[in-house]
Amino acid sequence: MMNNQRVTIVEKIMDANDRLAGINRSLLDENGIFAINLMASPGAGKTSLILKTIEALTSQIRIGVIEGDTAPVTIDADKVHAAGMPAVQINTGGDCHLDAVMVNNALQQMPLKELDLLIVENVGNLICPAAFQLGTHANVLIASIPEGDDKPYKYPQIYRGVSALVINKIDLLPYVKFDMDYFRQGVEMLNPGLVTFPLSCQTGEGISNWVNWLKEQVSIRKIT
């Protein structure tokens, strides 16, 4: 009986989260915003990619950022503000992921009518964020070269559920043992045909392909 009760409770929590994620999606759609849930392990380069994206698109697309962190710090949000874009910081209180409730609260503080693209920077983690829908249109994962080429094999769930994959820090390939073919094989087994963007936030290589994809997705959202 105890086990069944636990299952029921978990199901209710997830159902409630998914319903609110639907409300978040509707709110984004009403305002013509394309939103991405950006996930990665700590240090993979989430904030660096966001800042590079803002730099490349600042004169073309209006961008807002929701920053998720386990601690009450505003370092990343401050960087986005300094780049001239609106940002809201979410303190998860130690939780290892964002959920739809947190994102909904943050959306109430964003100038939605003034945005084309919303980037939600999830908590640095390769496990928990994969389980919670936020209402965004696309889940994007950043893998980085120093993390190693075995991550698709060790963390299959998060690779299965993403719409696009960024491979960051490719400038380190000559210096780090990383078998790109082995890595891509693992990704392909989990998510065949996944859109992938090898790039370097340090050198700028490959950034244009990433931002062009974002522009295309924003354009589609505006048309529909």
The tens digit of pLDDT for each residue in 169-195 reads: 999 999 999 999 999 999 999 999 999
pLDDT tens digits for range 44-82:
999 999 999 999 999 999 999 999 987 766 778 888 888
d(CA 85, CA 128): 28
Query: Please, are residues 164 and 187 in contact by the beta-carbon 8 Å criterion?
Result: no
Instruction: Report pLDDT for 9.
Output: 55
Q: What is the mean pLDDT of the chain?
A: 92
Domains annotated for the chain, with CATH where assigned, are 2-223 (3.40.50.300)
Structure-token pair, residue 149: 């080429």
Instruction: Report pLDDT for 73.
Output: 66
**How large is the angle between the packed helices 207-223 and 46-57, nearest 10 degrees?**
70
Number of other CB atoms surrounding residue 111 within 10 Å: 10
Q: What percent of the chain has pLDDT over 70?
A: 92
Instruction: Report pLDDT for 15.
Output: 84
Residue 5: pLDDT above 70? no
Instruction: Report pLDDT for 1.
Output: 44
Tell me the pTM: 0.91
Structure-token pair, residue 144: 């980085």
Query: Please, are residues 126 and 134 in contact by the beta-carbon 8 Å criterion?
Result: no
d(CA 79, CA 201): 15
DSSP assignment of the chain: -HHHHHHHHHHHHHHHHHHHHHHHHHHHHHTT-EEEEEEE-TTSSHHHHHHHHHHHHTTT--EEEEEEESSS--HHHHHHHHTT--EEEEE-TT-SS--HHHHHHHHTTS-GGG-SEEEEE--S-SSGGGG---S-SEEEEEEEGGG-TTHHHH-HHHHHT-SEEEEE-GGGTTTS---HHHHHHHHHHHSTT-EEEE--TTT-TTHHHHHHHHHHHHHHHHH-
d(CA 169, CA 198): 8
**146 or 12, greater pLDDT:** 146
pLDDT tens digits for range 118-174:
999 999 999 989 889 999 999 999 999 999 999 999 999 999 999 999 999 999 999
**92 or 41, greater pLDDT:** 41
